[in-house]
Structure 1
């Protein structure tokens, strides 16, 4: 189906805003270095292109890392240039030594990973006979200028706070969780083995993206640029839910024994479906900054617990072999953890809602 231009713009709004920020930052860096008469001011432009991220916190972090790595690389490259190089062999030895030292430091401190590149560029691009001190100083000024312009562009031009990025990425995680829960419920309803799915790998990538966005949000708060108000427990709780889904998925890799299916399939599927609906309501609450409606999660979980207790005391449970018994009670164990962790997530989502909203709903 062909999308209208307005629909395309809305669907790609974040990408378009980032494009505008990068264009504005690049133009500002170019104008600044031409105005200031910097001989190699293109370093400022390169820096803007490198540090501009999807949020203010991400840009600030990238700019800081770039500046720290540049300082180290510039110092090492300047020292190498000061040693002098009369032939290719000497230059090669100095280059290997300088970049090796920078690479060692960068391996110990990943934030300084740009240092080896900067050291090599500094050493190889230093004009013969030029003042090493001035050359190093100018590069630091140019890269610092580019980093400052990048941060200002992120702050002033269609600013994207890390709070919004964390929420958007959390919504993506919850979407994966909801689909996985419904797939497990369908497997119980149909009596078939849970089919293999790419959702687990996608969920891991989505969770890593949430953690990265939280780091950017924390950097914004530490820099007093914004207070995101998202509990630090949110990524941890999401990871626990992912682990719960792995456990329940393993229990359903094969169909449960017929006796267990008869006793547990319907209440188990209802319980998983209710938790999938809770994940959806958590998403809705995040979008609207409201309180999470728990719905019938508790009732469905109690029904599952009652059915499980009856099955445990039945003769059919006593006839299960070790593997079948492990899968049945493994599913029960995973269900208990999943119930606890999803309710904990709902509580964390409630904390994000404005205080006045919670007060109005509780009155």
Structure 2
């Protein structure tokens, strides 16, 4: 940021731009945490500037000096720019640029030169910002995606362990603020993936992260919502006696799998599946035994729905976490052929 600001200041002084401080402002606005983010912000600002400069220039060309007339032109110009920005969010800077162009145009100055200078100044700032992001301690979006994915997996692991503890203790698990934090972390992963894709499209980097990773993480989050709803009240004693221990062991194994996915992403390796398949099959066996028992027949409709809702969520969670592990294996450097794995068995009915 320091280097880019200095370069923008030196460039506009060297080129003798009358209002070249817009190049400095643009650098400060577009610089992001990664190359892809900076490139996206610079592109959006330039596109918004083009639209806003044209609209503001048209308004300034009308030459209105009366306060009421100028206000009407201002409202009209910014309204048109805001309407376009509502349809194309990338142009959200257009209303601001249009208003600045209209209100700061020097009296008597050629409008076309004024518009041209603003586009040059903001374009110059965007180019300097992107070059600085690329050349000075470059931060590729790949690392940002990995870091944010690790944060998501940390939330997932904590929520799975909390559900396992609730089953072991036979207690209810109220709605956790972790759900909101997980949702925000997932949105951050999607944003970083967009920046990474922008880098790849611009041939600045090839991040090598499958697009299915954010989708799989969202599915796991939805699975946690389903299992959380089943545990928002204690399970019936008959179900706890039969299923609490295998259910808790199964959730703990999946939490450990999430932790191993984190370790593999951090270290660039493949994911050890551990005993997750064994624990899941044990849970499935216990569920089948309970389903055929007399105790299951005594459950009312609501209790039965929560017990078998937990089983349904467990099946989805098992499938999606194994799918995530497969995607993490794809990211790891290839060191040789990977043995085919049998598809997971589901206990869904």
TM over 0.5: yes
Q: Say yes or no: does 1:269 pair with 2:242.
A: no
Among 26, 43, 60, the residue aligned to 2:5: 26
Match of residue 172 from structure 2: 193
Distance (Å, rounded) in 2 between the aligned partners of 1:278 and 1:30: 51
Residues 1:65 and 2:50 aligned together:
no
Q: Deviations over 1:13-61 (max 9, x none)?
A: xxxxxxxxx1111111111111111110100000001100110000000
2:303 to 304, 321, 324: 324
Cα distance in structure 2, aligned partners of 1:28 and 1:278: 48
2:311 alignment partner, SS class? helix
Structure 1, residues 43-95: CA drift from partner, whole Å, max 9, x if none? 00000011001100000000000000000000000000001113111111111
Matched, 1:47 2:26: yes
Q: Distance in 1 between matches of 2:52 and 2:238?
A: 68
How far residue 359 of structure 1 moved from its aligned partner, in angstroms, is: 4.1
- Alignment counterpart, residue 264 of structure 2, candidates 281, 285, 291: 285
Number of aligned residues: 340
Q: Please give the alpha-carbon distance, in whole angstroms, between the structure 1 residues aligned to 2:255 and 2:136.
A: 38
Summarize deviations over 1:144-166 as a string: whole Å, max 9, x none: 00000000111011110000000
Paired with 1:97 and 1:144, the residues of 2 have a C-alpha distance of 26
Contact preservation (8 Å) 2:53, 2:119? yes
Gapped regions of structure 2 (runs ≥ 5): 341-349
Q: What is the TM-score normalised by the length of structure 2?
A: 0.96
The TM-score, its normalising length taken from structure 1, stands at 0.92
Q: Distance in 2 between matches of 1:23 and 1:339?
A: 48
Alignment match, 1:230: 209
Counterpart check, 1:160 vs 2:139: yes
Shift in Å, 1:361: 9.2
Q: 2:294 aligns with which of 315, 322, 344?
A: 315
How far did residue 196 of structure 1 move?
A: 3.4
Q: 1:86 & 1:99 partners in 2: Cα distance?
A: 17
Identify the residue that residue 35 of structure 1 maps to in structure 2: 14
Distance 1:49 1:173 in 2: 29
Judged with a 3 Å threshold, the aligned counterparts in structure 2 of structure 1 residues 167 and 109 are, in CA distance, closer, same or farther, namely same
1:185-232 CA distances to partner (integer Å, 9 max, x unpaired)? 000011111133210000000000000000000000000000000000
CA separation of 1:361/1:32 partners in 2, compared to 1, >3 Å: closer, same or farther?
A: farther
* Alignment partner, residue 67 of structure 2: 88
Q: Distance in 2 between matches of 1:148 and 1:98?
A: 27
Distance in structure 1 (CA, Å) of the matches to 2:181 and 2:196: 23
Is the 2:189–2:214 Cα contact (8 Å) retained in structure 1? yes
After the TM superposition, which of the residue ranges 22-31 and 235-244 deviates more from structure 2?
A: 22-31
Does the aligned pair in 1 maintain the 2:12–2:21 contact within 8 Å? yes
| CA displacement, residues 213-257 of structure 1 (integer Å, 9 cap, x when unaligned) | 000000000000000000000000000000000000000001110
Aligned to 1:240: 219
Say whether the 8 Å CA contact 2:175–2:228 is kept in structure 1.
Answer: no
Instruction: Provide the secondary structure at the position in 2 that maps to 1:355.
Output: coil
Partner of 1:207: 186
Unaligned 5+ runs, structure 1: 1-21
CA distance in 1, matches of 2:83, 2:92: 10
Residue 17 of structure 1 is matched in structure 2 by none
In the aligned structure 2, how far is the partner of 1:241 from the partner of 1:30?
48
2:343 — aligned with what? none
How far, CA to CA, are the matches of 1:91 and 1:360 in structure 2?
Answer: 70
Whether the 8 Å contact between 2:153 and 2:259 is mirrored in structure 1 is yes
**Over the residues paired in the alignment, what is the CA RMSD in angstroms?**
1.1
Question: Equivalents in 1 of 2:2, 2:297: separation in Å?
Answer: 70
Provide the rounded CA distance (Å) in 1 between the counterparts of 2:143 and 2:222. Answer: 26
